[in-house]
Structure 1
Amino acid sequence: MSSQPAVEISKLTFSHSPPGGRLNDTVVALRDVNLSLPRGSRTLLIGGNGAGKSTLLYILAGKRMIHQGSVNVFGKDVFKDFPPNLIYLGTEWAMNAGVRRDIVVSDFLNSVGGYRHKQRRDHLLDILDIDLDWHMHAISDGERRRVQLCMGLMGEWDLLLLDEVTVDLDVLVRDGLLNFLKEETINRGATVVYATHIFDGLNDFPTHIAHMCDGFFVLSPTPWPPSADNTELVKMGTTLHSIALRWLADDRALRIREEKEGKRSKTRGRRSNTAPDDVDRESFYKKYDYSH
């Protein structure tokens, strides 16, 4: 296996304009991100909503142009020389109107080259428990998600970026999928970067875990399970679920403390002083509230 890292990111900072914001309003989504991931690794990104996980995966997939820092996959700049065999799978696919049309699953998979990957396609059909006679418009979100996974994984990918894409799967199918991905990294040296909020059944999956908060790595990708000399991780617990709970609780406590110290504005949770426009809206809705 090549000693060249699968992923190398250096001094990456990324900002974007918020929805509905003015052109000169910017939000810093990633701050001075640096990481290196070896080939054959399975890295789990852990962090709360808005921590920067999806933005990072989008940039790795070449879907967001950057202006500060460098992003290389297998030694190639993802914006200047997009690497082959890189697959990104996110949740937005299943909501696309184009994949909800009345098309038979077998025809759908063949339309994206399934006939070229018959052996891997058939293996995934068994793992994901897919009926080739399903019609895309008539199946559940979870079943449509299985088709997406089959479509994305049936070729021999080298880097797989997963963004919450297993959220619709039942536990049996998800377990089969994770075992398949693990075999791909072991047998072919493929690499997986996986962002999720579901930690049951994951303890034996990752080779590395990372903690993201406010757009930076609180803990850069670190080998999992932790070695005895990594006392900080060892003290946090024996499961990814317990560690994730601890990290997210610490993130929230830090945010609340900074709000009290005036280091950031309080925008979440209850509001102690109702703004005038909130009072006006409340008065309006009280006047036309027909729920009683």
Structure 2
Amino acid sequence: MSVTDAVIPAITVDHLTYAFPGGVVGLHDISFDLASHSRTLLVGANGAGKSTLLRILAGKTLAKAGSVRVQGCDPFRSALAGVTYLGTEWASNATVRHDMAVPVLLSSVGGDAYPDRRDELVEILDVDLAWHMHAVSDGERRRVQLVMGLLRPWSILLLDEVTVDLDVLVRSRLLAFLERETSSRDCAVVYASHIFDGLAEWPTNLIHIHMGRILECGKPADIIANTSLPKRATTLTYNSNSALLELALKWLSEDLKDRGRREDVKRLRWDEISKNDKDGGMNLSAFDAYFKFSRAR
């Protein structure tokens, strides 16, 4: 399914399936295209497959079946200099908790080569150059990570919950910066988040992932217009931001009801998928049978 009108997508995912070590399937038969200049918001419950998808797009994980192309290349087999992945694990890395000054870290990733961009990001993310990494909070450490990650111009930016530690002002500034980047440069952002405040007009695309499959994919205005959302109990008028939040709440509530208790969920295993599925065929066999049963409960 295509969510943009571009002729040449920045990201193409075609019948992608991924199985974890041990055989449990995390993503099954997902397809979409994302164009340059797009900002895509991934929506899904914990464990839905958002992080797995981002890691595959970043080339950190090899999929079992199907294909992924980022800027026309297989991200796992090609070293793509323009792809930047930022995840939550960075802040817990022991290395970045040592007594290191922020300017040293920024210089180590090319800060001196992009002084104007470095200074802009330091200002946007409110980073104090006098900080030492062993004596800052998790939120301050996250700001340093973002400056380091965004310092070199990127073509594809993959963000996995990295704004969770930011205060509302810094997060707003960051989102505005990313919007300017995707509007002015040939680049795209894919952003997984559970925080929808301030995202009303930000995404150009929405992707709803549930239990490893894509249920909705398209432009936010089109999806919201075609979705029956509950009315507020108050007399306040809807704005586009509350509509996006209500859409996310509706999706996640339905996903939770559909999934049921975690201990009752039987996760599909790789050996239960037919050979035709593994070769990229359309007969979804065991997974579709399970998924249709799950949706009908």
TM tier relative to shorter chain: 0.7 to 0.9
Task: Measure, in 1, the Cα distance between the counterparts of 2:107 and 2:265.
Answer: 55
Corresponding residue to 2:189 among 168, 172, 192: 192
Corresponding residue to 1:252 among 247, 253, 256: 256
Task: Measure, in 1, the Cα distance between the counterparts of 2:262 and 2:51.
Answer: 24
Aligned to 1:231: 226
Contact 2:121-2:151 within 8 A present in 1 as well? yes
Amino acid corresponding to residue 223 of structure 1 in structure 2: K
Whether 2:88 is the aligned partner of 1:91: answer: yes
Aligned to 1:242: 246
Aligned to 2:132: 135
Report deviation, 1:218.
0.8
* 1:202-239: CA deviation from partner (whole Å, max 9, x where unpaired): 1111001111000010112x1122278x5226789842
Amino acid corresponding to residue 256 of structure 1 in structure 2: G
TM-score by length of 2: 0.80
* 1:168-209: CA deviation from partner (whole Å, max 9, x where unpaired): 000000000000000000011310000000111111110011
Contact 2:259-2:265 within 8 A present in 1 as well? no
Instruction: Say if 1:264 and 1:140 are closer, same or farther in 2 by CA, change over 3 A.
Output: same
Task: Measure, in 1, the Cα distance between the counterparts of 2:160 and 2:90.
Answer: 11
Whether 2:166 is the aligned partner of 1:169: answer: yes
Percentage identity across aligned positions? 50
Corresponding residue to 1:112 among 99, 109, 114: 109
3-state SS of 1:40 partner: coil
Aligned to 2:57: 60
Contact 1:226-1:234 within 8 A present in 2 as well? no
3-state SS of 2:45 partner: coil
Task: Measure, in 2, the Cα distance between the counterparts of 1:81 and 1:233.
Answer: 43
Larger Rg: 1
Instruction: Say if 1:103 and 1:264 are closer, same or farther in 2 by CA, change over 3 A.
Output: closer
Whether 2:7 is the aligned partner of 1:3: answer: yes
TM-score by length of 1: 0.82
3-state SS of 2:166 partner: coil
Contact 2:110-2:151 within 8 A present in 1 as well? no
Instruction: Say if 1:258 and 1:140 are closer, same or farther in 2 by CA, change over 3 A.
Output: closer
Whether 2:53 is the aligned partner of 1:49: answer: no
Contact 1:42-1:207 within 8 A present in 2 as well? yes
Aligned to 2:274: none
Aligned to 2:100: 103
Structure 1: which 5+ residue stretches go unaligned?
Answer: 18-24, 266-292
Aligned to 1:202: 199
Structure 2: which 5+ residue stretches go unaligned?
Answer: 1-5, 232-237, 268-297
Amino acid corresponding to residue 10 of structure 1 in structure 2: D
Report deviation, 1:84.
2.4
Task: Measure, in 1, the Cα distance between the counterparts of 2:159 and 2:70.
Answer: 16
Contact 1:76-1:82 within 8 A present in 2 as well? no
Report deviation, 1:154.
1.0
Supply the RMSD in Å over aligned alpha carbons. Answer: 2.3
* 1:246-285: CA deviation from partner (whole Å, max 9, x where unpaired): 00110111123999xx8849xxxxxxxxxxxxxxxxxxxx
Structure 1: which 4+ aligned runs deviate by more than 6 Å? 233-237
Task: Measure, in 2, the Cα distance between the counterparts of 1:175 and 1:129.
Answer: 12
Amino acid corresponding to residue 6 of structure 1 in structure 2: A
3-state SS of 1:63 partner: coil
Contact 2:42-2:191 within 8 A present in 1 as well? yes
Instruction: Say if 1:57 and 1:227 are closer, same or farther in 2 by CA, change over 3 A.
Output: closer
